[in-house]
Structure 1
Amino acid sequence: MRDKKNIILILASIGTFVEALDIAIINLTIPAIQEQFNISYGTAQWLQTLYVLFFGGFLIIGGKLSDQLGRKKIFIIGAIIFMFTSLGAGLSTSFNSLALFRALQGFGAAFIMPSAMSIVINTFSEGQERNKAVGIFSSFAAIGSGSGLSIGGIITTYLSWQWVFLINVPILLITIILAYKILPTDEKNINHSRTDFLSAILLIAGLLTLTYGTHELININESPIIVIGSIVFSIFVLVLLSYRLKIVRSPLIDLNLFKYKSLLTANIAFFCLGAFFIGFLFLISLVLQKDMGYNSALTGLIMVPFSVMSALIAKFVLPKISKRLNSAKTSLIGWIFMLVGAISLLLAISFGHSLYIVMVGIACISGIGMTICFTGLSILGVQDMKASNFGIASSFTNTSYFLGGGLGLSFITLIGQFNTTNFVVGNLSVVALLIFALLALIILIVNTTSKKYKKKLKGIINVVIKF
């Protein structure tokens, strides 16, 4: 029985590893894609943005269908979609077809993530056993995100950018076959309420247009009507969605779930984590390749030790931390490393681009901080949920992560336009990472502080405001 549980955990973790890997793996392939299709860097960057948009936009639906139709069924459907769209992306002969398959990859990933999380939570007993399993599962997602740069750079240099996508096919094919044979049919905790598809359409339309409008703010002088119109339309749609969720009998999103402080805190911190880490992946690829002059292969090799470090942290350090600290405090430790990493990158960019200082920053963020943060926040987000709501709760936190990633990346790109240095990445872009880290630290400190100290903290804030 124990061995079967471990196999189920491995299958779910492999699924989330692959979709997380594809978040980062595209960054070091962009120069090769630019060259083949003769497009600008900004156009090529849509390959990352589309993936994040569709991933975040469809996550709520993926989680809801996981609860309603069954975790195993949605996991396999998501894996099949991801496998075939990876094949299509690898065989694409035009940028438009590549962008289409990249977007559909995000759609498939949105089915994999919440169903995989729900499978893990329902397989392991509540308490330390479940926390350990969720920790391992979440660490696979963190390791996948962190190792994308190293794997992407090496594959692009020694094979071709197409293999960044094609490598997913055999891995997922094996995973699908094993999942069909091994994963249990989940009838006990299935929520049989009807799916509110109109709310789903409003949610996707609102999130996609909001992220698009934010992403295109840098082009507001060229297309003011389109950019402003996208943002105004997204606000209108999201307000309409909020009203509908309050009046419909079986809403897509049960707003009452946010009465749980742990879920609300996890969502805010996950939003900051998405903005921070996806922004970091974008910036570090530019720093190493454009500002420091390393090619894709060498950039990938530089990142390899930190992928290994992330795996070691997940294997040996995280279990010890989770035994002694709750999920909120675990997340707090991870965010402290993220903050230190951002400060290191700021120092490196400000004073000569020292490789050693850059590597300290990468170690704190990709090697340590991301693994601890993602794991701690994943547990925090579902710790108070009923079994029938695991899928939707997981999709909430992951939607926050990718919405943060989309908006954060757009914000970093926007303020990057005000760079006054001779380098591609300026100080302001890294300062944005510091802001995201500080916001997350504040929300987690408030969560973990006792009522006695909260009153003192509130008093200090009031004094500062009056002053």
Structure 2
Amino acid sequence: MTTLNSTRPAEPRAGGRHRAPDPSAKRTIGGSKWLILGVIALAQLVVVLDATIVNIALPSAQLDLGFSDDARQWLITGYALAFGSLLLVGGRLGDLVGRKPMFLVGLIGFASASVLGGVAGGIEVLIAARALQGVFGAMLAPAALSLLTVTFTEKDERAKAFGVFGAISGGGGAIGLILGGALTEYLSWRWCLYVNAPLALIAVIGTVILIPALGRSETRARLDLPGSLVIVGGLVALVYGLGNAEAQGWTSTVTLTCIALGVSLIGIFLLIERDVANPLLPLRILADRTRGGAYVALLVCGAGMFAVLLFLTFYLSTVKQFTPLQTGFAFLPMIAALAVSATALAKVTATVGPKLSVFTGMLLAAVGLLLFTQLGFDSSYVTHVVPGLVITGLGLGLVMAPAMAAATSGVQADDAGVASAAVSTFQQIGGSIGTAVLSALAAAAASDYLQGRVPNPATQAMAAMESYTTTFFWGAVIFAAGALVCGLLFPPGPIESDTAVTPVPAH
């Protein structure tokens, strides 16, 4: 086995140790780690696909089952609340009971919930299925990243592995648009849920065959129950408040109350973690400068990507009259560019370090979004949309992989799960903030345009166009601000390997 990359030695964790793995098991993982990467990447794809593939299915599902717009919103909110609030708990459970068991439970549970949603005959069952997807997704996502963290510890291999993982995380939403459009158009909206089952089955089989029980945690640490309850409540309130801001506005009493309550509970959670013997999220994980920069980078990506995936989808489908499948395929240039920059440039980004990579990537993403502000009714897809997609994709690839690698570097193996969960938590919060803020800005831009104008189809179309370009501009501002903040937070240079650290394989 190789050693862990870090700008500093892995932090010690009181109260636990790991039994040495069996030598034959170590040889097994050494010879099959790239197949393990395939299994982990497939599991990550299952999670990130769900963010957009279900959105494509919602109009058809609403027509089929006959539910209201308010109920439709709960299909999105129910998943977001369960997933976002339980990520840290799911990550810590992976540290305590084992990453492989949590990975398998997450896969099987997510697939089962997807099938339940696919066979749903009413909105109640569909909402319950979406919430269960969120619960099991909160187990699966941190387990996948922590497995990657403890499997790939040598500098060059780690860069390549995180390049692939980052490409999946960044491009999975766009892939979901393609797959969702194809399944809805040629089969049924139900297949947008069913599709998770065969993908998860392949990942389960791969996990059982390729990832042996290499070591068992002997830590006697218990789950931080007070901290868990407080942070779950805080994240539920925050995510719900941000979601409510999109529907009822920022001045709504419910919005302000929930956001204030969420922020307050998160503050109380940090106080609890400072003093508790076995914290859910050790504050040393957040206090590290490199990881702090990485978490900010992932939060910014979660917020900024919303402008691309949602409002560019609106533009292509309403202004350019693309079908759902055509809209999905329209994002292929971004997926390809993201994959190239995340994987082909993995060794370069590992050499120069996250500071330069993330700073450059965010500036590129900002430039790509600024190009979208020039879109109009007569803009050509090839000459006006594709350049922005390519530049944005290149930028996101330079951000996602280095940030994910930096966010989990130098972490003691017993904390790999919760450190990985923090990655998904910051992305989820970023997405919620992006949804609320950019939707509000879009609505304000449309309303401002219509003031003093006679409402008719032409002015309504112009107001919609104004809302799209406004969100592209503010998305660019988000990325530009992120470049500045991350440029200040990240220390210069590459993440150096620490040969004194003995990595602990998945258990």
Match of 2:471 in 1: 429
Q: 2:321 & 2:339 partners in 1: Cα distance?
A: 28
* 1:33 paired to 2:37: no
Give the TM-score taking structure 1 as reference length.
Answer: 0.88
Give, in whole Å, the separation in 1 of the partners of 2:373 and 2:281. 39
CA contact (8 A) 1:67 1:191 kept: no
Contact 1:72 1:115 in 2 (8 A): yes
After the TM superposition, which residues 164-203 of structure 1 pair with which residues of structure 2 at under 5 Å, given as runs? 164-187=192-215, 191-203=219-231
User: Secondary structure, in 3 states, of the residue corresponding to 1:383?
Assistant: coil
1:306/1:408 CA distance change after superposition, 3 Å: closer
Cα deviation code 1:220-254 (max 9, x no counterpart): 47994433332333233223322222232212111
Asked whether the equivalents of residues 86 and 101 of structure 1 are also in contact (C-alpha less than 8 Å), the reply is yes
Give 1:1-80 correspondences, 5 Å limit. 1=27, 2-39=30-67, 44-80=72-108
Q: CA deviation at 1:448?
A: 5.0
Q: Which amino acid aligns with 2:418?
A: I
* Inter-CA distance 279–38: structure 2 relative to 1 (3 Å threshold): farther
Shift of 1:4: 1.3
Equivalent position of 1:327 in the other structure: 354
Contact 1:416 1:426 (C-alpha < 8 Å) held by counterparts: yes
Deviation (angstroms), 1:190:
6.1
Q: Which is further off, 204-213 or 322-331? A: 322-331
Between the aligned partners of 2:48 and 2:72, the Cα distance in structure 1 is 19
Larger mean CA deviation between 321-330 and 79-88 belongs to 321-330
Using the TM superposition, give the Cα deviation of residue 192 of structure 1 relative to its aligned residue in structure 2, in angstroms.
3.7
Q: Is 1:370 aligned to residue 411 of structure 2?
A: no
**In 2, distance between residues paired with 1:58 and 1:93?**
27
1:313 Cα deviation from its structure 2 partner: 4.1
Secondary structure of residue in 2 paired with 1:10: helix
Quote the offset at 1:78 in angstroms: 0.6
Higher RCO (CA 8 Å, separation ≥ 6 residues): 2
Query: Structure 1 CA distance, aligned partners of 2:348 and 2:355?
Result: 11
Deviation at 1:189, TM superposition (A): 5.5
User: CA RMSD for the aligned pairs?
Assistant: 2.5
Report if aligned partners of 1:5, 1:123 keep a CA contact under 8 Å in 2: yes
Q: Aligned AA for 1:136?
A: V
State how far apart, in whole Å, the 1-side matches of 2:241 and 2:399 are: 29
Read off the aligned partner of 1:422 and give its amino acid letter. Answer: A
3-state DSSP of counterpart to 2:464: coil
Q: Residue deviations 1:13-45, cap 9 Å, x none?
A: 111111111122233333323333445667534
- Once residues 92 and 320 of structure 1 are traced to their aligned partners in structure 2, the CA distance between those partners, rounded to angstroms, is 46
CA distance in 2, matches of 1:12, 1:435: 33
Residue 459 of structure 1 is matched in structure 2 by none
Structure 2: distance between partners of 1:76 and 1:393: 19
Q: Give, in angstroms, the shift of residue 358 of structure 1.
A: 2.0
Equivalence for 2:6: none
Cα pair distance change 1:196/1:274, threshold 3 Å: same
Q: Distance in 1 between matches of 2:126 and 2:361?
A: 35
Other structure's SS at 1:252 match? coil
**1:71 Cα offset (Å):** 0.8
Q: Distance in 1 between matches of 2:404 and 2:139?
A: 17
Corresponding residue for residue 456 of structure 1: none
1:427 Cα deviation after fit: 2.9
Alignment of 1:55-454 (within 5 A): 55-187=83-215, 191-220=219-248, 224-315=252-343, 317-349=344-376, 352-355=378-381, 356-365=383-392, 367-418=393-444, 419=446, 420=449, 421-423=462-464, 425-448=467-490
Report if aligned partners of 2:174, 2:328 keep a CA contact under 8 Å in 1. no
Q: What's the CA shift for 1:397?
A: 1.8
Residue 407 of structure 1 aligns to which amino acid in structure 2?
I
For 2:419, the aligned partner's letter is A
C-alpha distance in 1 between matches for 2:250 and 2:171: 40
- d(CA) in 2 for partners of 1:173, 1:343: 41
Paired position in structure 2 for 1:461: none
Q: Structure 1's 164 and 218: CA in aligned 2 closer, same or farther, altered over 3 A?
A: closer
**Distance between the aligned counterparts of 1:448 and 1:29, measured in 2?**
40
| 8 Å Cα contact 1:331-1:373 kept in structure 2 | yes
CA distance, structure 2, for counterparts of residue 185 and residue 398 of structure 1:
25
Secondary structure of the residue that 1:347 maps to in structure 2? coil
Contact 2:170 2:397 in 1 (8 A): yes
Q: Is the 8 A contact 1:87 1:166 kept in 2?
A: yes
Distance 1:205 1:291, change over 3 A: farther
Query: Residue in 1 aligned with 2:11?
Result: none
Distance 2:201 2:38 in 1: 15
2:9 counterpart residue number: none
Partner of 1:458: none
Deviation (angstroms), 1:46 = 4.2
Distance 2:442 2:262 in 1: 24
- Whether the aligned pair in 2 keeps the contact of 1:81 and 1:108 (CA below 8 Å) is yes
1:74 shift after superposition: 0.7
The 2-side partners of 1:364 and 1:107 are apart by 35
For residues 176-220 of structure 1, the C-alpha deviation after alignment (integer angstroms, 9 at most, x for no partner) is 122123212143566441111221121121111112112222554
Corresponding residue for residue 23 of structure 2: none
Q: Distance in 1 between matches of 2:442 and 2:70?
A: 13
2:477 partner amino acid: I
Q: What's the TM-score, normalizing by structure 2?
A: 0.82
**What is the aligned partner in structure 2 of residue 463 from structure 1?**
none
- Structure 1 residue 364: Cα displacement: 2.5
- Report how far residue 275 of structure 1 moved: 0.8
